[in-house]
Amino acid sequence: MVDLHLIHQIQLGILANVAAINSKYHLEYFLTGGSAIGAVRHHVFIPWDDDIDIGLPRTDFEKFLQVAPAELLHRGYFVEENRLDPQYEYDFAKVMADGTRILEHGRELTKAKNGIFIDVFPFDRMPNKRTQQHNQQAKLAMLLEEIRKRFYPDLYQQSITQSKYADYNLNELYDIRLSTMTQYNGHSELSLINMSSPYQYGKELIKPTEIHHLIPMDFENLQVPVLADYDAYLTRLYGDYMKLPPLNKRIQRHVLKVQVDNFTKRTLKLNPAIIWKKPLVNCSRN
């Protein structure tokens, strides 16, 4: 059985270090998805949750990718993103802990580096017009399928109709997908969405009046930013998010197996302050 307590300890260490980097470089970030529910409803992890999700506006996400690898290098963590590791298939980032290995649901065949992680999602502007939304959604889905075909060809049957992107190489597909995700980012009046979200296109939405308004909230032994209007964000995403799901829905969704080397375990046991250090939370750019 997976040791959730150990996973949570290591994830909190990752989050504390990511928080310190974001504070140092004045990057806005906030808990998203189930992690935001955990902070609001429980002030800790959702008891059965096995990951942490944070979001950043695209500009801050790109800055994070520039500075985080070097900042984390000697702290025992590393960043995975497709521009940093050609074996990594996603266009959001994961910050992982050295000395750990996991088997993640949906990534059983990956050749990328892996470990206990937190997810770091970029948020981009979504067009207002339905036709533009449909076109963006369709293009992103087509590109994602082509990318996954490159990594997992045995999982895809040969299609009768060939995709217009069938002859593009992986880097070209990533570039087109990135430009598609960011094509409306010059319009500050538009809402932002997580286009790498596991939910349907447009579901994980933040209105332009909400994005730069953050408040600190207790999450385990840390204080972490959440959207000030977290109720609007979580209600759009989940409906009645304060209601506990039925027992059969309270399951781990990501980590199937985990290995933690003895040095990492010993470090956690002897010096829990490494994990439980409470960073100062800066909820603004000032």
pLDDT digits (tens, 9 = 90+) for 271-283: 444 444 444 455 5
Rounded Cα–Cα distance for residues 22 and 196 (Å): 21
pLDDT (mean) for 76-83: 95
Q: For residue 164, give the 3-state DSSP assignment.
A: coil
- Name every residue whose Cβ is closer than 8 Å to that of residue 231 and which is 6 or more positions away in sequence: none
pLDDT digits 0-9 by tens, 156-176: 766 656 788 989 999 999 999
pLDDT (mean) for 72-86: 93
- Residue-by-residue DSSP string for 199-258: SPTTTSEE-TTTTT-EEEEEETTEEEEEETTHHHHHHHHHSSTTSPPPGGG----SEEEE
What is the number of other CB atoms lying within 10 angstroms of the CB of residue 132?
Answer: 13
**Across all residues in the chain, what is the average pLDDT?**
88
Rounded Cα–Cα distance for residues 50 and 250 (Å): 11
Would you put residue 255 in left (φ > 0), alpha (ψ -120 to 50) or beta? beta
Write out the H or E segment, with its range, that includes residue 22: helix 4-24
Is 70 exposed, middle or buried, given 0-12, 13-18 or 19+ CB atoms closer than 10 A? exposed
Using the structure block, give the residue that is written with the tokens 């504390």.
Answer: 16
Under the banding of pLDDT at 50, 70 and 90, the label for residue 142 is very high
Report which of 274, 19, 277, 259 is spatially closest to residue 115, judged by C-alpha positions. 259
- Name every residue whose Cβ is closer than 8 Å to that of residue 225 and which is 6 or more positions away in sequence: 28, 29, 30, 31, 214, 215, 216, 217, 281, 283
What is the pLDDT, as a whole number, of residue 281?
54
pTM score above 0.85:
yes
pLDDT (mean) for 84-101: 92
pLDDT digits 0-9 by tens, 181-211: 999 999 999 999 999 999 999 999 999 999 9
Using the structure block, give the residue that is written with the tokens 């909400």.
Answer: 210
Would you put residue 202 in left (φ > 0), alpha (ψ -120 to 50) or beta? left
Enumerate the β-bridge partners of residue 29: none
Write out the H or E segment, with its range, that includes residue 174: helix 170-181
